[in-house]
């Protein structure tokens, strides 16, 4: 019994704590899931690029995960703008995944393109 109690305490002390909430008032502290990864934006002659991230049934149906992104790039202009939305006509990302859109806004026409591949790192929290 002492070992079971010690195991329960260890699990409680070492389990990640997370709070998932939406402006609609939905708030969850149990069953919260966190996923992360990166998606590559391939080099191209255009200044616009996009990629799709699929969650592959990781989140529950009707979940709208909170997503945080960041750009990891070298050798491209500093002005990399990116935004996300849902797949297809969805405004918000959902349990299926999301799309990331990228634009290079260089002051020079010569460098106003995605001349090297780079990554968008992402983290998603949902239930």
Quick one: pLDDT at residue 112? 86
* Ramachandran quadrant class, 31 (left: phi over 0; alpha: psi -120 to 50; beta: rest): left
pLDDT at 63: 95
- Interval 50-89: pLDDT, tens: 999 999 999 999 999 999 999 998 876 678 899 999 999 9
- In order of start, what are the domains of the chain with their CATH numbers? 31-126 (2.60.40.2080)
In percent, the amount of the chain with pLDDT more than 90 equals: 66
Tokens of 47: 């200044």
For the chain, give the mean pLDDT: 91
Specify the pLDDT at position 77: 63
- For the chain, give the secondary structure using H, E and C: CHHHHHHHHHHHHHCCCCCEECCCCCEECCCCEEEEEEEEECCCCCCEEEEEEECCCCCCCCCCCEEEEEEECCCCCCCEEEEEECCCCCCCCECCEEEEEEEECCCCHHHCCCCCCEEEEEEEEEC
Q: What is the pTM of this model?
A: 0.82
If one compares 73 and 19, the residue with the highest pLDDT of the two is 19
34-43 pLDDT tens trace: 999 999 999 9
């Amino acid at each position: 019994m002492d070992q079971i109690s010690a195991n329960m305490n260890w699990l409680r002390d070492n389990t990640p704590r997370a709070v998932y909430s939406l402006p609609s008032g939905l708030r969850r502290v149990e069953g919260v899931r966190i996923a992360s990864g990166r998606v590559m934006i391939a080099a191209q002659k255009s200044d616009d690029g996009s990629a799709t991230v699929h969650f592959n049934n990781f989140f529950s149906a009707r979940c709208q995960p909170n997503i945080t992104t960041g750009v990891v790039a070298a050798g491209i202009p500093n002005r990399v703008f990116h935004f996300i939305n849902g797949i297809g006509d969805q405004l918000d990302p959902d349990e299926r995944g999301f799309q990331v859109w990228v634009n290079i806004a260089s002051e020079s026409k010569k460098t106003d393109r995605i001349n090297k591949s780079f990554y968008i790192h992402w983290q998603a929290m949902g239930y």
